[in-house]
Amino acid sequence: MQNKFQTFSYHSHTNFSDGKCSITEMVCRAKELGFSELGISDHLIVHKNMRQSPSCVVNAYMQKEPHIYCSDFDAILERFQRHCDEMRQVAKAENFKLYTGFEVDFFTYDGWLEELQDFLQKLDYDYVISGNHFLFDESGENLINLTDLKELYTDRAIYRDYLNRHFKAMAQAVESGMFKFLAHIDYARRLGDDICGPTDFWAEKIALLDTLAANNVPMEISTKGLRRVNDYFPSDNILAEAAKRNICFVVSDDAHHTSELGLNFTDAEKTLQKHGIKNRLKF
């Protein structure tokens, strides 16, 4: 990489999902920053029992946003098609390289993957990334938002079960071969160090890194972690293990606002350099 820091981002959100700014505003900011290109990856989260999830009861924002937290692919198809069209129109109007992506929560119940593939075939999109924010039971059929785990359960054995499955589901996502990269692999640190600190679930994290390496799937270092857990996603010890496996990296801001685009990219670059990570993703 010739630049001192990466001049593009493939993980960002607009007000189509839970971002705060329009596509045009994000593109204009990317141009202002001197970015060569931008990928917008709004959420695509569809699970057949999403609307019955206890998380929909405890979180008003989930009740209000049925096209983000959705039970039915068919119900959102038109809206997603319109979004893809708008992305193309903005790219043309702004004369800027804009990739249409989606951040997909990976679910494991029978039929889900086929439904996702069928849905994506009907969209004019460029890429999908795997970003996992939900936890589910053994059947995969009942789910909760990861950040609700402590509010809904107190049993530590349940935490362990849910999180074990979470890391396994990410490995399944990687093995599906569908995703350009895996986002925030230790997002579960949002639960706090008492449940998922940097050294917890270590065997599961290592297994996931091995799966990334074996399948040649890149992962991100996300500066969003700095705003959530005061550290990058992922933690330093994971970066060291990823470096040993020569896993390919992309720097992400996971920007939900124009002010977050490219945020802390210089520092992220130094962190990658510190670990000798040179294998980098560019579309």
Q: Give residues in contact with Zn ion (CB under 5 A).
A: 103, 131, 254
* Contact partners, residue 127, CB within 8 Å, separation at least 6: 10, 39, 41, 99, 100, 101, 180, 283
Q: Is the Cβ of residue 118 or residue 166 nearer to Zn ion in the bound state?
A: 166
Q: Is the Cβ of residue 48 or residue 256 nearer to Zn ion in the bound state?
A: 256
Q: Rounded to the nearest whole angstrom, what is the least distance from the CB of residue 162 to Zn ion in the complex?
A: 17
- The answer to whether the CB of 211 falls within 8 A of the CB of 167 is no
Question: Length of the chain, please?
Answer: 283
Residue 215 burial class via C-beta count within 10 angstroms: exposed 0-12, middle 13-18, buried 19 and up? middle
Q: Is the Cβ of residue 186 or residue 254 nearer to Zn ion in the bound state?
A: 254
Q: Is the Cβ of residue 105 or residue 241 nearer to Zn ion in the bound state?
A: 105
Q: Rounded to the nearest whole angstrom, what is the least distance from the CB of residue 132 to Zn ion in the complex?
A: 8
Cis peptide before 234 (omega within 30 of 0): yes
Q: Rounded to the nearest whole angstrom, what is the least distance from the CB of residue 254 to Zn ion in the complex?
A: 4
Q: Is 133 helix (H, G, I), strand (E, B) or coil?
A: coil
Q: Rounded to the nearest whole angstrom, what is the least distance from the CB of residue 234 to Zn ion in the complex?
A: 13
Residue nearest to Zn ion (CB): 131
Q: Is the Cβ of residue 103 or residue 204 nearer to Zn ion in the bound state?
A: 103
Q: Rounded to the nearest whole angstrom, what is the least distance from the CB of residue 278 to Zn ion in the complex?
A: 25
Q: Rounded to the nearest whole angstrom, what is the least distance from the CB of residue 237 to Zn ion in the complex?
A: 21
CA–CA gap between residue 57 and residue 78 (Å, rounded): 26
Radius of gyration (Cα) for the chain, nearest Å?
A: 18
Q: Rounded to the nearest whole angstrom, what is the least distance from the CB of residue 229 to Zn ion in the complex?
A: 13
Q: Is 67 helix (H, G, I), strand (E, B) or coil?
A: coil
CA–CA gap between residue 255 and residue 33 (Å, rounded): 14
The phi, psi pair for 12, rounded to 5°, reads -150, 165
Q: Rounded to the nearest whole angstrom, what is the least distance from the CB of residue 178 to Zn ion in the complex?
A: 16
Q: Is the Cβ of residue 67 or residue 243 nearer to Zn ion in the bound state?
A: 67
CA dist list (Å): 279 to 210, 217, 247: 16, 11, 7
CA–CA gap between residue 129 and residue 179 (Å, rounded): 5
Q: Is the Cβ of residue 131 or residue 225 nearer to Zn ion in the bound state?
A: 131
The phi, psi pair for 103, rounded to 5°, reads -100, 110
Q: Is the Cβ of residue 131 or residue 234 nearer to Zn ion in the bound state?
A: 131
- The answer to whether the CB of 46 falls within 8 A of the CB of 116 is yes
